[in-house]
Structure 1
Amino acid sequence: MLPNASELIAAKARIGCAVRLGFADPECDHVMERDRLEQMGGTLPGRIRNALSMLGPLADTPGCEVALHTAHPHNSVFRFDVEMIVTPHLFRARGYQHPALYLRRLSPHGIFESFADQVEQIWGTATPFEIEEDRGPTA
């Protein structure tokens, strides 16, 4: 775990790296469904809210966008230009039990492009997220 991850990402955004962080909307029915499937006892929405509250400098860093989506969370995708890590969500497994797949873009076709397209489609439905200074996170 990187306790200063938000500061590292903010520094990248300040030097020109485009950063987009998409989170499942903690109020979304799909989040509660995932919570039940992973047998998390109703804690997943709070875990998402906690992650959002830890954004620190990312919330107001130029070049960094944060948004919430309501798409069903079948996997998590972390994309870095021509590389990505995909963690497919397995039935009745918790997050740390999901495998991590390392993918590289080798052509304009294939599994990398399929996941990249999925990210773009979900991002296109996402709602910008902003932190209100005196009241905490809001959607």
Structure 2
Amino acid sequence: MPNDRLREAILRKGLTSVMVAEKIGVDPKTVERWITQDRTPYPRHRQAIAAMVREDVPYLWPNAVTPEKASRIGQSEMVKLYSRRSSVSYDVWRRLIERAEERIDVLAYAGLFLVEQDPRLIDILRQKGVDGVAVTILLGDPTSAAIERRSIEEGAPGVMAAKIRQVQQYYKRLDGAPGVKVLYHDTTLYNSIYRFDDEMLVNMHVLGFPAPHAPVMHLRRINGGDLFSTYADSFDRVLSASKGQPGDEVAA
């Protein structure tokens, strides 16, 4: 059977079998066999092609990486573990935002600290959208039960909804901005996720602790690993059930 995922990924990047072969130093007929006969390349070639087309090795060759190996690779995706979000310097956030060239994803209830620590953030995100970066902001629906439950668990009823309404005033300035979406969810979050291309900050949620006092993982995607992709998939699941405005029907 042909490897349709590999074929589609190569075509999507505007490449040909000959171009791929030249880049990784193999015969074009070898690349054709990888595509048409679903032959599995050597690991070094799998990594090179996956990086070239910006896809995960397990996606292109599902049977090539065992779960055990994916788990071992995933451990290397951890750049740093912070004991609390407040320990992540603004320089880290600024570097990740400014370097993003393809996507910026934010999944939180409010994430008010982002706009508070840099008043220029909204203008930066608008410009990123203009430059072709896909910016997706997923905020909690302030009318949902999940939001009030979170506030009660933190010992401050009503506060989370108030934070969301406060941050809405900032993000309203992005209305109509190209490449920028601000949506709302009613998910019970176990983590807040901030993705910048192939790097990610995951702010864990701990019962009874406000997010600034909970740990943060800094992850960097490595082909074949499963840690980064776990949280990327989580973001996508929430995105699929998010709405344009609080109270709207789920977006198609």
**TM-score (norm. length: structure 1):** 0.89
107, 113, 120: which one aligns with 1:4 = 120
CA contact (8 A) 2:129 2:178 kept: yes
Give the helix-richer structure, 1 or 2. Answer: 2
Does residue 113 of structure 1 match 2:229?
yes
Counterpart for residue 75 of structure 1: 191
Q: Which amino acid aligns with 1:99?
A: P
148, 162, 168: which one aligns with 1:32 = 148
| In structure 1, distance between residues paired with 2:158 and 2:173 | 29
Q: Which amino acid aligns with 1:106?
A: I
| Offset at residue 112 of structure 1 (A) | 0.6
**TM-score (norm. length: structure 2):** 0.50
* SS in structure 1 at match of 2:126: helix
| Offset at residue 42 of structure 1 (A) | 1.7
Partner deviation per Cα, 1:37-81 (whole Å, 9 max, x = no partner): 111232110101111111143122010011001110211100111
Counterpart for residue 209 of structure 2: 93
| In structure 2, distance between residues paired with 1:121 and 1:67 | 13
- Any unmatched runs of 5+ in structure 1? 130-136
> In structure 2, do the counterparts of structure 1 residues 7 and 138 end up closer, same or farther at CA, with 3 Å as the change threshold?
farther
> Aligned-pair RMSD on alpha carbons?
1.5
| Offset at residue 10 of structure 1 (A) | 0.6
* SS in structure 2 at match of 1:91: coil
* SS in structure 2 at match of 1:45: helix
* SS in structure 2 at match of 1:7: helix
